[in-house]
Amino acid sequence: MTEQSSPVFQFSRMESLLRGRRLRRLTVDGVDAVFVRDPVLVRRILVSDSKNYGKGELFRKARNLSRVGMLSEDEAMHRHYRRLANPFLRSTKVDEYVPAMRDIVRDVVSSWRAGDAVDIQAEMCRITCTISVSTLIPGLIPETTHALSERLSRLAWEMIRKPLYGKSAARAARPGASKQLSQARREFRELLASCIEDLPNHPEETGGYLSALLADSDEKGNRLLTPEQVCEEAVMMMTAATVTTASVMSWALYVLSRNPLVEERILKDLMRSGSAAPGQGAPSYSLRFLMEVLRLYPPVWISCRKALSDVTLGDHSLPAGTNVVFSSYLLHRDAEFYPDPHRFDPDRWTSLNPSKVDASYIPFGIGSKGCVGEMFAWQELQVILDVVTQEWKLGTEPDQHIRTAPETTLHPRRLLMVPRPR
């Protein structure tokens, strides 16, 4: 049976359509697809049978994204770009970034004025973009780092708000429709390209991500990537890293403002030593808090794959070319795995661990296509949470209603918060 979903994605409607079913044929964004809500089957798609699935072509916006590097359909190219990025994102390297991360967050939040409303999402973009530029492109003069960070911040903010679904996405995909996004992307790329062009003049700067991409060569010494490809891959890496973290941190600060007891426990917990990422020992309360934020508000809220050949999924035979859709938002709110699933409860993670046998918790994806920057993101979230909450108490207007916006990321539609000194 095929149902026609509404022009704007509605989670409650999708939950209703899927109730009692783990797999169902639906029309999503005008495309026939199979929607999967069984986390065991989702894990099969992403891990054990991943070779049978490629990137889906469901959402109009996704068709406009670059397909170079880690977004390439070519598996060998994907793995190659991933290996190039990994040395700058592994946990031991990320630990080295922490002092710089703290300084950046302090610098941004020190500009806030008590009692003056702050656009939290825009500020989280400033923070995450400055961290991204400063850590992945070291050695730049301060003026260039600042200019790159500001341009990346504008690009990230436009990316977050770009519609992903329905008629609004179709309109935004028309040539010339997204003028602000196009301008922000062009301005960031132009400055980044000039930095790439200047790198050969500074051979001593060999430790950064851009340098690694530019210096990548085959066994004969021939460079594998053109400056244009280096620029394209860096743009995708840095926007992906910033838009997701900025959205998650915006939700985290909003949830804190609505839960005074949770905020009190966070402050006490942050007085102690730092906490490990999930799977690396018992999680502290602050980490459990972030895990719960990511459960309820996963930034990558929906995904699509396409069957590359005839496949069997559960009891269903799917022909090659079938679009297979799944939503981490819905998986994370399945009552079978999470009792009282819509309640915010960090303590549920004292007895729960992210499963290794299913996809009931996938805020960063899983398998070979999982987020290469997961360790970077966990550390960054904890640093931002620590610095912001110890400097400021943030509040919203009592009657302010925050809407959930499922666009490029799952973010608050508009979040103004008022800082008060601790």
User: pLDDT tens across 186-224, in order?
Assistant: 999 999 999 888 877 665 555 688 888 888 888 888 888
Query: Would you state the pLDDT for residue 229?
Result: 84
Q: What is the mean pLDDT of residues 259-286?
A: 81
More reliable by pLDDT, 262 or 176: 262
pLDDT confidence bin for 392, thresholds 50/70/90: very high
Query: Would you state the pLDDT for residue 61?
Result: 45
Query: Would you state the pLDDT for residue 206?
Result: 55
Q: Are strands 31-36 and 303-307 parallel, antiparallel or unpaired?
A: unpaired
pLDDT above 80: residue 179: yes
Taking CA atoms, 8 is separated from 27, 74, 79, 291, 422, in Å, by 13, 32, 35, 27, 41
∠ CA 392-397-398, nearest 5°, is 115
Query: Would you state the pLDDT for residue 3?
Result: 42
Query: Would you state the pLDDT for residue 196?
Result: 87
Query: Would you state the pLDDT for residue 198?
Result: 83
More reliable by pLDDT, 174 or 346: 346
Sheet-wide strand order for 392-395: 118-119, 416-421, 392-395
Query: Would you state the pLDDT for residue 173?
Result: 60
Tell me the percentage of the chain whose pLDDT exceeds 90.
Answer: 55
Of 1.25.40.10, 1.20.120.1200, 3.40.50.2300, 1.10.630.10, the CATH number of 11-398+405-412 is 1.10.630.10
Query: Would you state the pLDDT for residue 1?
Result: 32
Contact 187, 147 (CB under 8 A): no
Query: Would you state the pLDDT for residue 107?
Result: 97
Query: Would you state the pLDDT for residue 261?
Result: 95
Query: Would you state the pLDDT for residue 279?
Result: 62
pLDDT above 80: residue 25: yes
Q: How far apart are CA 259 and CA 196, in angstroms?
A: 46
Query: Would you state the pLDDT for residue 6?
Result: 41
Does 129 carry a binding-site annotation? Answer: no
Q: What is the mean pLDDT of residues 278-291?
A: 84
Q: What is the mean pLDDT of residues 171-190?
A: 79
Query: Would you state the pLDDT for residue 16?
Result: 82
pLDDT above 80: residue 50: yes
pLDDT above 60: residue 135: yes
Using one digit for the tens of pLDDT, what is the confidence trace for 84-124?
Answer: 899 999 999 999 999 999 999 999 999 999 999 999 999 99
pLDDT confidence bin for 5, thresholds 50/70/90: very low
Using one digit for the tens of pLDDT, what is the confidence trace for 352-387?
Answer: 888 778 899 999 999 888 899 999 999 999 999 999
- Sorted by where each begins, the domain ranges of the chain are 11-398+405-412
Tell me the percentage of the chain whose pLDDT exceeds 70.
Answer: 86
Residue 391 has phi, psi (to 5 degrees) of -90, -40
CA 164 to the chain's CA centroid: 14
Query: Would you state the pLDDT for residue 228?
Result: 86
pLDDT above 60: residue 67: no
Query: Would you state the pLDDT for residue 76?
Result: 79
Query: Would you state the pLDDT for residue 4?
Result: 40
Q: What is the mean pLDDT of residues 5-31?
A: 75
Mean pLDDT of the chain: 86
